Amino acid sequence: METRVVFHIDFDYFYAQCEETRSPELKTKPVCVCVFSDRGGDSGAIATANYAARKYGVKSGMPISFAKKRLEGRNDAVFLPVDFDFYSEISEKAMKIMKFNADIFEYVGRDEAYLDVTKRVEGDFKKASHLAQQIKNSIREKIKLSCSIGISSNKLISKIASDYRKPDGLTVVTPDNMNEFLNPLKIRVIPGIGKKTEERFSEMGLETIQDLKKLDVFTLNKEFGRKNGAYIYNAVRGTYNEPVKEREASIQYSKISTLKKDSKDYQFLSENIIDLCKEVHGILLKNNRMFKSVGIHLIQSDLSSKSRSRMLKNPTSSLEELQKNADQLLREALENQTITIRRLGVKVTELSEVQGQSSITNYF
């Protein structure tokens, strides 16, 4: 079987780096890009911090007020509001460069993508390394951004490798040196392994990927369920067969708002969901679009978040369908809810153009 050559390209502190491209004087300062809430003041959370800010312990998701405390001694610290339109514009230019250099291009998000380059480098990892360097140079020259690239024979290891030498890293993991690369790494580098799972392994006396290889698949299944157990068993051995799939940036329409008060009361939240649906529906009508997937997003008062989504049988542009499904998702999300909700969002994806009355629900 042919060995695939897969890149994972990830931008370093993307939002803050975008801000540095239009204001180069920010490069030497601690920069925090913030999602300010509608409540005013320092209410909200950090979306991205550059490395100068991270040295002080500032992290994504941290409340802005905490970040300001951490950076108290730095009079030059900068707190900027997010500008998603600008970041999307920059992302689009970067993705064009990547796509041009890929056999198969898979968009993951504004700041990351997978590239299958097997054909153009003829399965040669040395050629792949040169190609990656060319991509990095091109992105730096044309867009003034640095990125980190991981190269291996599958998506999983490439993702781990892209994070290995951040910022501005380039890490090649050939099939021959895969175990040598993986074994000493901490368990948490495996995508999908969160804090709780890591703590559980720590209780079992397991810290590195090499330690984790001692567990057989039956123990893992018993501890984490069959699906997760099998994934962890294969991941630590670098076995991951999902190919890079052609995927463009998928447009979605969404609205999110900060609630007048933190709450977990269904009635109160439902009224807000209904209003958000109306706003999203207005955007759909304006753009002549139907949707096939509905999602809701809940940001809790501790700033952790919860999402729920569902795929519909047929595309529709019906407000009633949108409200009904969003409300149902809200009910599901609120089961056993202990923390109050601070912000609420609705989104629609899998968009298509409205052509005549192509869906029965369009009549409503």
- Note every long-range contact of 183-190, with CB atoms under 8 Å and residues 24 or more positions apart, other chains counting: 183/208, 183/209, 183/210, 183/213, 184/208, 184/209, 184/210, 185/160, 185/209, 187/211, 187/212, 189/160, 189/163, 190/156, 190/160, 190/232, 190/235, 190/236
Q: Which domains does the chain have, with CATH numbers?
A: 1-182 (3.30.70.270), 183-235 (1.10.150.20), 253-363 (3.30.1490.100)
Q: What confidence tens digit (pLDDT) does each residue in 82-119 have?
A: 887 788 889 989 999 999 999 999 988 888 999 999 99
pLDDT at 360: 30
Q: What confidence tens digit (pLDDT) does each residue in 163-210 have?
A: 999 899 999 999 999 999 999 999 999 988 878 888 989 999 999 999
Q: What confidence tens digit (pLDDT) does each residue in 43-61 have?
A: 788 989 999 999 999 998 8
Cβ atoms of 185 and 159 within 8 Å: the answer is no
Residue ranges for the known binding site for Mg(2+) are 10, 111
The whole-number average pLDDT for the span 274-291 is 90
pLDDT band at 357 (very low <50, low <70, confident <90, very high): very low
Q: What confidence tens digit (pLDDT) does each residue in 72-82 have?
A: 989 999 999 98
The proportion of the chain whose per-residue pLDDT surpasses 90, expressed as a percent, equals 63
pTM of the model: 0.71
Which residues are part of the catalytic machinery?
112
Residue ranges for the known binding site are 10, 111
